[in-house]
Protein backbone atom coordinates (compact mmCIF):
# COMPACT_ATOMS: atom_id res chain seq x y z
CA UNK A 1 0.00 0.00 0.00
CA UNK A 2 1.41 3.38 -0.94
CA UNK A 3 2.43 5.83 1.76
CA UNK A 4 -0.02 8.43 0.42
CA UNK A 5 -2.87 5.93 0.59
CA UNK A 6 -1.97 4.91 4.15
CA UNK A 7 -1.91 8.56 5.26
CA UNK A 8 -5.17 9.30 3.42
CA UNK A 9 -6.86 6.34 5.08
CA UNK A 10 -5.68 7.56 8.48
CA UNK A 11 -7.01 11.04 7.76
CA UNK A 12 -10.36 9.59 6.69
CA UNK A 13 -10.58 7.58 9.92
CA UNK A 14 -9.72 10.64 12.01
CA UNK A 15 -12.29 12.82 10.22
CA UNK A 16 -15.05 10.25 10.64
CA UNK A 17 -14.13 9.82 14.31
CA UNK A 18 -14.12 13.55 14.95
CA UNK A 19 -17.41 13.97 13.06
CA UNK A 20 -18.97 11.62 15.60
CA UNK A 21 -17.38 13.47 18.50
CA UNK A 22 -15.48 10.36 19.57
CA UNK A 23 -12.07 10.17 21.19
CA UNK A 24 -9.57 7.62 19.92
CA UNK A 25 -10.40 5.58 23.01
CA UNK A 26 -14.11 5.58 22.15
CA UNK A 27 -13.44 4.53 18.56
CA UNK A 28 -11.13 1.79 19.80
CA UNK A 29 -13.87 0.50 22.09
CA UNK A 30 -16.50 0.57 19.33
CA UNK A 31 -14.16 -1.21 16.90
CA UNK A 32 -12.63 -3.62 19.45
CA UNK A 33 -9.14 -2.27 18.73
CA UNK A 34 -6.30 -0.95 20.87
CA UNK A 35 -6.33 2.85 21.28
CA UNK A 36 -2.66 3.19 20.37
CA UNK A 37 -3.27 1.18 17.17
CA UNK A 38 -6.09 3.57 16.22
CA UNK A 39 -3.68 6.47 16.76
CA UNK A 40 -1.04 4.80 14.59
CA UNK A 41 -3.60 4.29 11.81
CA UNK A 42 -4.72 7.92 12.02
CA UNK A 43 -1.12 9.14 11.78
CA UNK A 44 -0.44 6.89 8.78
CA UNK A 45 2.13 4.85 10.68
CA UNK A 46 0.20 1.56 10.62
CA UNK A 47 -1.36 -0.24 7.68
CA UNK A 48 -4.86 -1.47 8.51
CA UNK A 49 -5.64 -5.07 7.60
CA UNK A 50 -8.92 -6.00 5.92
CA UNK A 51 -10.19 -7.21 9.29
CA UNK A 52 -9.34 -3.83 10.87
CA UNK A 53 -10.99 -1.93 8.00
CA UNK A 54 -14.10 -4.05 8.55
CA UNK A 55 -14.06 -3.36 12.32
CA UNK A 56 -13.68 0.37 11.74
CA UNK A 57 -16.45 0.37 9.14
CA UNK A 58 -18.80 -1.43 11.51
CA UNK A 59 -17.93 0.99 14.32
CA UNK A 60 -18.75 3.95 12.06
CA UNK A 61 -21.86 2.23 10.70
CA UNK A 62 -20.68 2.49 7.10
CA UNK A 63 -19.70 -0.04 4.45
CA UNK A 64 -15.99 -0.74 4.02
CA UNK A 65 -16.24 0.63 0.48
CA UNK A 66 -17.58 3.89 1.90
CA UNK A 67 -14.68 4.17 4.33
CA UNK A 68 -12.20 3.43 1.56
CA UNK A 69 -14.05 5.91 -0.67
CA UNK A 70 -13.31 8.65 1.85
CA UNK A 71 -9.68 7.62 1.56
CA UNK A 72 -9.76 7.75 -2.26
CA UNK A 73 -11.31 11.21 -2.20
CA UNK A 74 -8.59 12.50 0.13
CA UNK A 75 -5.87 10.85 -1.95
CA UNK A 76 -7.27 12.43 -5.14
CA UNK A 77 -7.47 15.83 -3.44
CA UNK A 78 -3.86 15.52 -2.27
CA UNK A 79 -2.75 14.53 -5.78
CA UNK A 80 -4.52 17.57 -7.21
CA UNK A 81 -2.83 19.83 -4.65
CA UNK A 82 0.54 18.31 -5.59
CA UNK A 83 -0.14 18.96 -9.28
CA UNK A 84 -1.05 22.57 -8.52
CA UNK A 85 2.08 23.05 -6.40
CA UNK A 86 4.25 21.56 -9.13
CA UNK A 87 2.70 23.93 -11.68
CA UNK A 88 3.35 26.92 -9.42
CA UNK A 89 6.94 25.83 -8.80
CA UNK A 90 7.66 25.61 -12.54
Task: Locate the domains of the chain by residue range.
Answer: 3-89
The span from the CA of 43 to the CA of 55, in Å, is 18
What's the CATH superfamily of 3-89?
lambda repressor-like DNA-binding domains (1.10.260.40)
pTM of this prediction?
A: 0.77
The span from the CA of 12 to the CA of 66, in Å, is 10
Alpha carbon distances (Å) from 9 to 42, 74, 79, 86: 7, 8, 14, 24
pLDDT in tens, 61-81: 999 988 888 766 544 544 444
Which parts of the chain register pLDDT below 50?
74-75, 77-90
Closest CA to 52 of 20, 60, 79: 60
The span from the CA of 39 to the CA of 35, in Å, is 6
Amino acid sequence: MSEVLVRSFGTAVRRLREARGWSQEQLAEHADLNRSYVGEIERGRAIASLVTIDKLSQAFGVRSATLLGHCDALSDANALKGTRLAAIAC
